Amino acid sequence: MVTFPRETDAYRAARNELLESERDLRRQLEAVASQRRQLPLGGEIAEDYRFHDMSGDEVRFSQLFAGGRDTLIVYNYMYGPQMAQPCVMCTSILDGLDGEAPHVQQRVNFAVVAKSPGERIHQFAQGRGWRYLPLYSSHGTTYNHDYHGEDEKGAQMPMLNVFARRDGRIHHFYGTELLYAGSEAGQDGRHVDLIWPLWNLFDLTPDGRGTDWYPRLSYR
């Protein structure tokens, strides 16, 4: 049994009770992941969307499947053409994913798509110091709207979708729909928490996530 210097019996008893809950949570996470993997294929993509990379070159959606990998993760970055600056929450997520991107792409294809024109995305990414994120502009397409990264009024939404290629056809496989499922009392959407370590770190602390702190683009 693990113990720490000068801990009390009361602390150890409470910690062991929490440990059982943590084990239950781990089992539940594994069970949900297994259930997710067993989803049948969703519908074929609405069209072979024409994106643009940060060099301005056109890239078809089908071309995002590379290296013989048949799975594609697409994160919808909330940075629309009418927004003065991108979403600070999405930016926090992408700050972390920039370093993870080379690891992710050893297993699956990965893309970050924003509705702003490519030059705006490129300039912001350079200022942020991002090096590895595979960024694309979906400006002029209906991709964001079709896959729930944009509402009827054009507001951008933080959606993550997974696509699978089978027999040359591309199907939707999974989307983070918790945002649209409604929240229980005391809960928020938390639909992309699994890719956002920031809040999980705070969950390990005495004060937790708190209610009055959110990421910012700059702390200077």
User: DSSP assignment of 71-99, as one string?
Assistant: EEEEEEE---TT-SS--HHHHHHHHHHHH
Cα–Cα distance, 20 to 65 (Å, whole number):
41
CA nearest to 154, candidates 81, 60, 54, 61: 81
Contacts (Cβ under 8 Å, ≥6 apart) of 17: none
Sign of CA dihedral 10, 26, 178, 137: positive
What burial letters (b/e) apply to 8-29, b meaning 16+ CB within 10 Å?
Answer: eeeeeeeeeeeeeeeeeeeeee
Query: Tens-digit pLDDT profile for the chain (220 aa)?
Result: 799 999 999 999 999 999 999 999 999 999 999 999 999 999 999 899 999 999 999 999 999 999 999 999 999 999 999 999 999 999 999 999 999 999 999 999 999 999 999 999 999 999 999 999 999 999 999 999 999 999 999 999 999 999 999 999 999 999 999 888 877 776 666 778 889 989 899 999 999 988 888 899 999 8
Assigned CATH topology for domain 50-177: Glutaredoxin (3.40.30)
- 43 touches 171 (CB < 8 A): yes
Per residue in 121-166, pLDDT tens?
999 999 999 999 999 999 999 999 999 999 999 999 999 999 999 9
Q: From residue 64, how far is each of 51, 75, 102 by CA, in Å?
A: 10, 13, 15
CA nearest to 203, candidates 20, 18, 17, 2: 18
